[in-house]
Amino acid sequence: MPAPKNSFKTALASKTPQIGLWVVTAEPSLAEMIGTAGFDWLVLDGEHAPNDIRSLKDALTALNGSKSHPVVRIPVGEAWMVKQVLDAGAQTVLVPMVDTADQAREMAAAMLYPPAGIRGMGASGARASHFGEIADYVATANDEVCLIVQAESRAALDNLDDILAVEGVQGVFIGPADLSADMGYPGNPGAPEVQDAIETAIRKIAASDKAAGILTSGTEPARKWLDAGATFVAVGIDMKLFSDSVRRLCAEGKALL
Q: What is the pLDDT of residues 64-103, one digit of tens each?
A: 999 999 999 999 999 999 999 999 999 999 999 999 999 9
Give φ, ψ of 28 to 5 degrees: -55, -35
**69, amino acid identity:** H
Instruction: Exactly one of 48, 203, 240, 248 is catalytic; name it.
Output: 48
**What is the per-residue pLDDT for 191?**
97
Q: Which residues contact 230 (CB under 8 A, 6 or more apart)?
A: 17, 202, 206, 212, 213, 214
Please tell me the pTM assigned to this model. 0.97
**What is the per-residue pLDDT for 1?**
85
Task: State which H helix or E strand residue 148 sits in.
Answer: strand 146-151
**What is the per-residue pLDDT for 138?**
97
Q: Identify the segments of the chain with pLDDT beneath 70.
A: none
According to DSSP, the residues that pair with 234 across neighbouring strands are: 20, 215
Q: Please tell me the distance from the alpha carbon of residue 255 to that of residue 196, in angstroms, as a whole number.
A: 42
Dihedral sign, Cα of residue 112, residue 116, residue 120, residue 123: positive
Give φ, ψ of 140 to 5 degrees: -120, -10
Q: Please tell me the distance from the alpha carbon of residue 105 to that of residue 87, in angstroms, as a whole number.
A: 20
**What is the per-residue pLDDT for 223?**
97
The three state secondary structure string of 206-248 is HCCCCEEEEECCCHHHHHHHHHHCCCEEEEEEHHHHHHHHHHH
Q: Which residues contact 36 (CB under 8 A, 6 or more apart)?
A: 66
Give φ, ψ of 235 to 5 degrees: -105, 10
**What is the per-residue pLDDT for 111?**
98
Q: With contact defined as beta carbons under 8 Å apart, do 169 and 104 qualify?
A: yes
Helix extents (H) in 97-191 = 101-111, 137-144, 154-158, 160-164, 176-182
**Region of residue 25 (left: phi > 0; alpha: psi -120 to 50; beta: else):** alpha
Q: Please tell me the distance from the alpha carbon of residue 246 to that of residue 228, in angstroms, as a whole number.
A: 34
**What is the per-residue pLDDT for 92?**
98
Catalytic (active site) residue 48: yes
**121, amino acid identity:** M
Q: Please tell me the distance from the alpha carbon of residue 146 to that of residue 143, in angstroms, as a whole number.
A: 8
Q: With contact defined as beta carbons under 8 Å apart, do 149 and 173 qualify?
A: yes
